[in-house]
């Protein structure tokens, strides 16, 4: 087996991920289900090391030997890019490859909410795309950047780990910095990006206090900032950001965040009704005066109730409202929506009223 052959196999079967682990045959994740490729032989320790060497440089192998884990991007020329994660387990190499198409998808192709087009063209503020691992946060951000690139002339700087989608220069000038090769840390890269005359800053993930603090300040001072967090909804997202800071700073951070925040898009992926592929469902929180007040007054737990009582003119929606809408449109089944609902009874009421 050659690594490029396995990656082509994954592409041909429309898999999102390829897993290579000693003692198992290659496994593909197709429509969120792990699918062993039982017609292929089990991977031996020697085979795993050989496959690893096929996709890495000596510098990367040295880093893996030192750090015991490695993340990087690998390009299969003319086919796709892959985000590769390598780690040690039981003294053997384990490899996971996530497929990233060469062509950046559009907002319409992904069937993202129309509000995404408006948000990415705003002159300043903080946009957060949140959700658990593997729900397409990076793809959502890439589609929004593509829309920006095609509709606005501005200077965009992204900081990623690793770079997934590659953006050409269309109307915007785009610089993509990769952690490790181009910069040592998100926080350092963000500080230096502010000196590079940016209009828009994209941060792959906000991981620490310094990055969060600088991102909020950048959004306050006239930049559009977009980033991700591994949180499930708006209250958790806001509380996670504030709780990073020591108690004596939290009141000030709440005030700053209430002024800087533009929107929070919390997403999940749901299998499509026809059985092929998945579609994203979004909780959408737009920072209007009421939302800003709830943040400032430490009442983020009231945001879901406020959204349920709101009207459609606000462009906000709860996750249950998003799921109900997708069911009504025939995009997903009632069963899949119910599984993912935080309140199935409320979802059922929404389905009756839509």
Give residue 10's domain range.
3-101
CA atoms within 13 Å, Cβ hemisphere of 96:
13
Residues 160 and 73 in one domain: no
Question: What sign results for the dihedral spanned by CA atoms 246, 251, 257, 260?
Answer: negative
Q: Is residue 264 part of a domain?
A: yes
Residues 45 and 147 in one domain: no
Nearest Cα neighbor of 293 from 238, 247, 241, 233 is: 238
Q: Is residue 342 part of a domain?
A: no
User: Where residue 93 sits, what CATH number does that domain have?
Assistant: 3.30.450.90
Number of domains in the chain: 2
Residues 309 and 249 in one domain: yes
Residue carrying the six token digits 């000038």: 173
Residues 95 and 117 in one domain: no
Residues 128 and 88 in one domain: no
> What pLDDT is attached to residue 79?
85
Residues 119 and 16 in one domain: no
Q: Is residue 228 part of a domain?
A: yes
Residues 60 and 176 in one domain: no
Element (H, E) at 289: helix 289-296
Q: Is residue 163 part of a domain?
A: yes
Residues 79 and 185 in one domain: no
Among the candidates 101, 116, 133, a domain finishes at 101
The CA-to-CA distance between both ends of the chain, in Å, stands at 52
Beta pairing, strands 69-76 & 80-89: antiparallel
Q: Is residue 50 part of a domain?
A: yes
User: Where residue 273 sits, what CATH number does that domain have?
Assistant: 3.40.50.300
How far apart CA 240 and CA 222 sit, in angstroms, is: 24
Q: Is residue 238 part of a domain?
A: yes
Residues 113 and 95 in one domain: no
Residues 41 and 162 in one domain: no
Residues 78 and 119 in one domain: no
Q: Identify any residues that bridge with 261 across adjacent strands, giving them in sequence order.
A: 126
Structural tokens at position 121 = 């063209």
**Tens-of-pLDDT digits for all 354 residues of the chain?**
899 999 999 999 999 999 999 999 999 999 889 999 999 999 999 999 999 999 999 999 999 999 999 999 999 988 889 999 999 999 999 999 999 988 999 999 999 999 999 999 999 999 999 999 889 999 999 999 999 999 999 999 999 988 989 999 999 999 999 988 899 888 999 999 999 999 999 999 998 999 999 999 999 999 999 999 999 999 999 999 999 999 999 999 999 999 999 999 999 999 999 878 899 999 999 999 999 999 999 999 999 999 987 655 678 999 999 999 999 999 999 999 999 999 999 999 999 887
> What pLDDT is attached to residue 312?
56
Among the candidates 101, 125, 140, a domain finishes at 101
List, in sequence order, the alpha helices (H) in 221-271: 234-243, 247-260
Category of 16 on φ-ψ map: left (φ > 0), alpha (ψ -120 to 50) or beta: alpha
- How many residues are present in the chain? 354
Q: Is residue 343 part of a domain?
A: no
Among the candidates 47, 66, 101, a domain finishes at 101
> What pLDDT is attached to residue 192?
93
> What pLDDT is attached to residue 310?
64
**Strand ranges across the sheet with 92-101:** 33-36, 27-30, 17-21, 92-101, 80-89, 69-76
Contact 26, 11 (CB under 8 A): no
Structural tokens at position 331 = 């995009």
Q: Is residue 332 part of a domain?
A: no
Residues 222 and 275 in one domain: yes
- With 0-12 CB in 10 A as exposed, 13-18 as middle and 19+ as buried, what is 330? exposed
Which DSSP string corresponds to 52-74?
Answer: HHHT--HHHHHHHHHHSEEEEEE
> What pLDDT is attached to residue 108?
98
* Residues in contact with 68: Cβ distance below 8 Å, sequence separation at least 6, in sequence order: 87, 88
């Amino acid at each position: 087996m050659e690594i490029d052959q396995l990656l082509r196999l994954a592409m041909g079967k429309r898999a999102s991920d390829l897993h290579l682990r000693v003692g198992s045959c290659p496994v593909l994740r197709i429509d969120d289900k792990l699918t062993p490729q039982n017609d292929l032989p089990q991977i031996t320790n020697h085979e795993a090391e050989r496959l690893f060497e096929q996709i890495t440089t000596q510098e990367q192998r040295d880093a893996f030997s030192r750090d015991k884990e490695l993340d990087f991007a690998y390009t299969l020329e003319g086919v796709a890019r892959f985000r590769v994660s390598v780690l040690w387990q039981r003294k053997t190499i384990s490899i996971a490859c996530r497929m990233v198409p060469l062509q950046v998808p559009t907002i319409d192709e992904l069937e993202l909410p129309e509000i995404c087009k408006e948000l990415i063209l705003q002159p300043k503020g903080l946009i957060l795309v949140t959700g658990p691992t593997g729900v397409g946060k990076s793809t959502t951000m890439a589609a929004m950047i593509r829309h920006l690139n095609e509709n606005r002339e501005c200077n965009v700087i992204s900081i990623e780990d690793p770079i997934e989608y590659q953006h050409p220069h269309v109307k915007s000038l785009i610089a993509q910095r990769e952690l490790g090769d181009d910069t040592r840390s998100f926080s350092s890269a963000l500080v230096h990006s502010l000196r590079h005359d940016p209009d828009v800053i994209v941060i792959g993930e906000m991981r620490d206090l310094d990055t969060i603090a600088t991102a909020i300040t950048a959004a306050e001072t006239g930049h559009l900032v977009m980033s991700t967090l591994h949180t499930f909804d708006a209250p958790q997202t806001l509380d996670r950001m504030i709780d990073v800071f020591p108690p004596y700073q939290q009141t000030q951070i709440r005030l700053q965040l209430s002024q800087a925040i533009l929107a929070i898009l919390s997403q999940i992926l749901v299998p499509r009704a026809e059985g092929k592929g998945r579609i994203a469902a979004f909780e959408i929180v737009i920072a209007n005066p009421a939302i800003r007040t709830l943040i400032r007054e430490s009442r983020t737990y009231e945001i879901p109730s406020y959204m349920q009582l709101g009207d459609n003119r606000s462009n906000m929606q709860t996750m249950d409202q998003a799921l109900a809408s997708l069911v009504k449109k025939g995009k997903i089944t009632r069963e899949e929506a119910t599984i993912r609902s935080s309140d199935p009874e409320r979802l059922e009421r929404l389905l009756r009223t839509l």
